[in-house]
Amino acid sequence: MLIWLWQFVRPYRLRLVIAIIALVLTAALTLSLGQGIKLMIDEGFSDQSTSGLAHALSWVGIIIVAMSVGAYFRFYMVSWLGERVIADIRKKLYSHLVSLPPSFFEDNLAGEIQSRVTTDTTLLQTVIGSSFSFALRNALTFVGGLTLMFISNVKLTLIVLLVVPFIVFPLIYFGRKVKKLSRDSQDKIATVGAWAGESLQHIKVVQAFTREALVNEQFGRAAESAFEVALKRIRQRALLIALVMMMVMGAVAGMLFVGGSDVIAGELSAGDLAAFVFYAIMVAGSLAAVTEVYGEVQRAAGAAERIRELMATQSGIQSPSISTAKTTSAEQQTAPLIEFNHVTYTYPSRPDTHAIARLNLAINAGESIALVGPSGAGKSTLFELLLRFRDPQHGELKILGKSLPDWDLEQLRSQFALVPQQPVLFSANVWDNLKYGRPDATEAEVIAAAKAAHADEFIAQLPHGYQSFLGEQGVKLSGGQKQRLAIARAILRDPKILLLDEATSALDAQSEHYVQQALNTLMAGRTTLVIAHRLATVRHVDRIAVFDHGQLVDVGSHEELIHSSELYKRLSDLQFSNENMEELGTI
Ligand SMILES: Nc1ncnc2c1ncn2[C@@H]1O[C@H](COP(=O)(O)OP(=O)(O)OP(=O)(O)O)[C@@H](O)[C@H]1O
Ligand SMILES: [Mg+2]
């Protein structure tokens, strides 16, 4: 863990050095108090001299002031280091997470990952920012105190040392156990957090189905099992602390008996014994402190392991390390804008069904194409392949004649604007949500985009207009309003390729009509891929591609497909007859 941590501490070496100097200094000064005590007893009490006592105490006074100054620097520097290093680790962890492909977040609970970013780093922080310096200081006190003990009285020191093996071995044994238990306990806590996060986020569904009791019970079970694991760890540590305390205090008592007899026999001065006892107590205290912190360091090691694991997760989807510009610009001119060559994609969790199977399709610049087909046909998956959220297992996907893995990811994705099937808004105001499409857009551009998406009217009616806060995931808006904001965002981005995944599904007939007009302007002269269930909304596109079970079954215009494609005809018959019935119903 230390080797791993060092990469984060290294930039702040200078502070670390100052902290260590302050640490060594305060430890040395603390020990030198022993000499002050010896002076006080031998010069002051034994000689019954007030001036001797004053002299001894003035030394003690100087030591105390120096110690306090040292303590200030030690505390400040060490805490600074802890906070700084953890902030760096958090930042690095987060930026790593953001770079991971969406599939990673499908296989790992968001709450669990969050817990690594927050709880685990906090645990690590206490260790770097306090426990570690505490342990180091006590270790120094231990070594220094022991040396002074040897110098002042070898016989008494040996008595004290007899117990050391009895302390060190249990320490190592229990330490290992605590580390394992601590990892378990962190894992459990992460699960508890993930649970709570998910059910609170979807509180409406929980309450609508009156499942409060169920989530309570599930959460309760998770919390209890976290407690049980913690309890095991606490038992181990309590046992360890008690054992060490008994050994240490027993040794001190034995030493006091032997030393006391020597003072009575006149072989040792009272001041020497007092100083020795002071050292012994310091040594014992520091050993106890180290054992206590040792458990904590083990916990932090568990946390560090989890953080390290997460940082080590490699994304299979990355920009090429060296730009592999295989295509010339002449080739780019002639190549279709988007090209699917025999593309097959299978979700790893569904190995026996192809979400996209052997797809061949070329889309020219400026063309608009609709993707239709039954639910689960693979339409949204196709968008994810285009955005390179996933890489196909077979075949090749080209944009502007360049294979996707040869594109710089950022450049590739900046060709697109996506209006997803479920509109996504962030907990911010309308401005910020729209500007997400293009952060450098001017005020006028944002408003124009909102107008084009027919969002301007309802935004004006919000309590603070464009400044209105939309709540987490835009909960303060209706489904159709959210959708219009998502469209406005895409309009603002002004991309080369527009991806609309049921962009108008949540709109009423009238807004749909308006938004459709806005989309038509947006689509004019722009390559557009539209997924739509309602076939009426895609009649005007250049081509319609019909998908079924991951296969492209037919391509053509509405008129052509009505005659040539059985599936398309069935879909359209169903819809148009339903609509006619609806119309009849309203008459
Ligand atoms: N993350 C995923 N992991 C595993 N399987 C998935 C995942 N996402 C989608 N699928 C499966 O892949 C198939 C295609 O899904 P896709 O979302 O592309 O369908 P779709 O055509 O967009 O459907 P809809 O019209 O209902 O949105 C479905 O069978 C679906 O269950
Ligand atoms: Mg879909």
421 alpha carbon to ligand 2 midpoint, in Å? 6
Distance separating alpha carbons of residues 228 and 225, to the nearest angstrom: 5
Per-residue pLDDT of 500-509, as tens digits, reads: 988 777 777 7
Residue 586: pLDDT band with limits 50, 70, 90: very low
Q: Could you tell me the two tokens for 168? A: 């060190």
pLDDT at 585: 44
pLDDT at 483: 85
Q: Is 455 helix (H, G, I), strand (E, B) or coil?
A: coil
- H/E stretch holding 239 reads helix 212-264
pLDDT at 577: 67
378 lines ligand 1 (CB under 6 A): yes
Angstrom CA distances, 109 to 114, 304, 307, stand at 9, 19, 15
DSSP secondary structure letters along 20-74: HHHHHHHHHHHHHHHHHHHHIIIIIITTT-HHHHHHHHHHHHHHHHHHHHHHHHH
> Which of 346, 352, 380, 385 most suits a substitution to test ligand 1, by most atoms within 8 Å of the C-beta?
380
pLDDT of 584 above 60? no
- Give the atom of ligand 1 at the shortest distance from the alpha carbon of 378: 18
* Mean pLDDT on 460-471: 88
Q: Could you tell me the two tokens for 574? A: 């169903």
* Report for 163-177, 212-226, 382-396: range of highest mean pLDDT: 382-396
Rounded percentage of the chain residues whose pLDDT exceeds 70 = 96
- Give the atom of ligand 1 at the shortest distance from the alpha carbon of 550: 14
Rounded percentage of the chain residues whose pLDDT exceeds 90 = 14
- Give the atom of ligand 1 at the shortest distance from the alpha carbon of 379: 21
* Mean pLDDT on 399-409: 88
pLDDT of 343 above 90? yes
Distance separating alpha carbons of residues 133 and 81, to the nearest angstrom: 11
Per-residue pLDDT of 47-74, as tens digits, reads: 777 887 788 788 888 888 998 998 898 8
> Which of 105, 108, 344, 350 most suits a substitution to test ligand 1, by most atoms within 8 Å of the C-beta?
350
Where is pLDDT greater, at 175 or 548?
A: 548
Q: Where are the domains of the chain?
A: 2-312
Only one residue has tokens 């997460």, namely: 310
CATH topology classification for 2-312: ABC transporter transmembrane region fold (1.20.1560)
Residue 195: pLDDT band with limits 50, 70, 90: confident
What is the DSSP code (8-state) at residue 429? Answer: B
pLDDT of 223 above 50? yes
**pTM of this prediction?**
0.74
What is the DSSP code (8-state) at residue 469? Answer: B
341 alpha carbon to ligand 1 midpoint, in Å? 21
314 lines ligand 1 (CB under 6 A): no
